[in-house]
Amino acid sequence: MHAPRSAPDRAPAPAPAPPSPHPSPPLAPRLLDVRRAAAFLSLRPDFLYKLAAARRLPSVRIGRRLLFDVLDLEAWIKRHRVKPAPADNSCPDPTPDATMPSMPLAPACEEGA
């Protein structure tokens, strides 16, 4: 009969990593078709075609497909963001302007207030 073999000396297997408390979200596609890019920007698809044709919005053409990179769309949004005017607590100039319709002054801006 054969003598039982002893198990070779091995390092114990590392313990499995605990599950993350924040599961990673599913990967979103980086390139969007016209319909999805339009939804992303809240615009109509035909307007996206016009922007891409005028090269005002970066696009990727693969064969006949027109695609938009999500990073380019986000950068486009940032470039077109309108920043708010600086806070100014003073009253507006009461001099009428021919280009602006006349608006009543706020009570705090009325003369003598």
In sequence order, which residues have a C-beta less than 8 Å from that of residue 67 and are 6 or more positions away?
Answer: 31, 32, 33, 37, 59, 60, 61
Mean pLDDT of 68-77: 96
> Is 106 a domain residue?
no
Residue 39 structural domain = 29-82
Whole-model pTM over 0.85? no
Q: pLDDT digits over 1-50, tens only?
A: 566 666 566 767 777 767 666 666 677 789 999 999 999 999 999 999 99
Q: Is residue 62 a part of any domain in this protein?
A: yes
Coil vs helix vs strand at 41: helix
103 found inside a domain:
no
What is the percent of the chain where pLDDT is above 90?
47
Domain total of the chain: 1
**Alpha carbons within 13 A on the beta-carbon side of 11:** 3
Q: Are the C-beta atoms of 28 and 36 separated by less than 8 Å?
A: no
Q: What is the CATH number of the domain that holds 55?
A: 1.10.10
- Give tens-digit pLDDT for 83-94: 888 876 665 555
